[in-house]
Structure 1
Amino acid sequence: MAPERETTQGRERASAGSSAASRPPRTRLDQPRPPRRRVLPEWDPEAFGRLSERIARFLGTGRFIVWMTVVIILWVVWNIAAPGGMRFDTYPFIFLTLMLSLQASYAAPLILLAQNRQDDRDRVNLEQDRKQNERSIADTEYLTREIASLRIGLGEVATRDWIRSELQDMLKELEERRDGHRPEGGVFPADRPAGRDVPDR
């Protein structure tokens, strides 16, 4: 019985080893994946976007319109006035139409790409402005509450004018009392008669 168990265990180990060998190796997480081969060329979308914005900005200037008008006039004049062998685009100017169509077909997506980038920037700016406005409103509400609490606190504090008015009222009251029933020696030391003090006997 023991040899049979050993043989069955050996068979199980052999089958486990063969299945482990047939499995694909696990990818290690501590190492980067090897770069994949791509058929299409790679480009930097940020650099391409900046280039499209420059082109769209140039297409929207008067300089581009002037240069394009000059090129078209020279093109038409050359293909009308030049000798027959030197003309490269005769009268219906099919090649010129093709070039203008090609330029328009490239200019439209570039302008749309530039507009999309500008929309993204405007969206980010609007979000930042909204957050800044929320912070400003919160700060204003906090300052308003603080000022209200200070006003409430100052309403119970004696101010300088109030103390001055109270002192003036007390002085007036003391003067009225002194003038109304002044004693013989007076209230204040300055009201006493000058001379020697008479000792008490």
Structure 2
Amino acid sequence: MPADVERERAKTPGGSTAAPRHRVRLDLPRPTRRRLLPAYDPEEFGRFSERIARFLGTGRFIVWMTVLIILWVLWNVFAPDSMRWDQYPFIFLTLMLSLQASYAAPLILLAQNRQDDRDRVTHEQDRKQNERSIADTEYLTREVASLRMNLGEVATRDWIRSELQDLLKELEERRDEGDAGPDR
């Protein structure tokens, strides 16, 4: 094949001679990638850590842990030498307790962080509710003040009675003046 024909075939529609690229379709989701780490649900893991932290903070855990340590020490002190798995300095017991503590501490911290997040949301909702309550109270205070001001202009029963009594006195005075007038 001549070199000119090969060059024409290698040209892309835009006229460049670069190798054609694979076009990415934007209307389709990307294929899932393989992960080295296992996938997990953070919410479920958080709930799991809260259950663990809740258990670690109970007297039941302390009792079981104490019983386990006492049995461990008694077995490794009084059992026959061939059946002991941890000799006197109890290095394996220390390792197990360190391992338990190294997992318990982050789980407790995770549970505390989740509780802090819940508390923050609750406080924010309480703050918004308090703002609404204050706004409602201020509105009602303005309405009551407006009603009091307008009640000052409303005729009450006692005010109408006193006005009618004043008018009655005034009419009696005019009648008395009319009777004592020049006709008599």
TM-score for the superposition, normalised by structure 1:
0.75
Equivalent pair of 2:46/2:110 in contact (CA under 8 Å): yes
Q: Which has the larger radius of gyration?
A: 1
Alignment of 1:166-185 (within 5 A): 166-171=163-168
Structure 1's unaligned 5+ residue stretches are: 1-10, 184-201
Secondary structure of the corresponding residue to residue 48 of structure 2: helix
1:71, distance to aligned residue in structure 2 (A): 0.5
| Post-superposition offset of 1:29 | 2.1
| Contact 2:76–2:87 under 8 Å retained in 1 | yes
Aligned to 1:63: 60
Query: 1:143-158, aligned counterparts within 5 Å?
Result: 143-158=140-155
Q: CA deviation at 1:58?
A: 0.6
Written as runs of structure 1 = structure 2, the 5 A alignment for 1:20-99 is: 22-99=19-96
Percent of residue pairs bearing the same amino acid type: 80
CA deviations over 1:58-107 (Å, ceiling 9, x no partner): 10111100000000001111111111111111111111111000000000
Closer/same/farther in 2, CA of residues 160 and 70 from structure 1, 3 Å limit: same
Separation in 2, partners of 1:20, 1:44 = 48
Aligned alpha-carbon RMSD (Å): 2.6
- How many residues in Structure 1 have an aligned counterpart in Structure 2? 172
| Conserved 8 A contact 2:11-2:18 | no
Give the TM-score normalised by structure 2. Answer: 0.81
* Preserved CA contact (<8 Å) 2:52 2:107: yes
Residue 4 of structure 2 corresponds to none
Counterpart-to-counterpart distance in 2, 1:141 and 1:64:
52
Instruction: Note the residue ranges of structure 2 that are not aligned, 5 or more in a row.
Output: 1-6, 180-184
1:15 and 2:15 are equivalent in the alignment: no
SS in 2 for 1:22: coil
Instruction: Give, in angstroms, the shift of residue 23 of structure 1.
Output: 3.2
- Distance in 2, matches of 1:16 and 1:82, equals 82
Bigger mean CA offset, 167-176 vs 20-29: 167-176
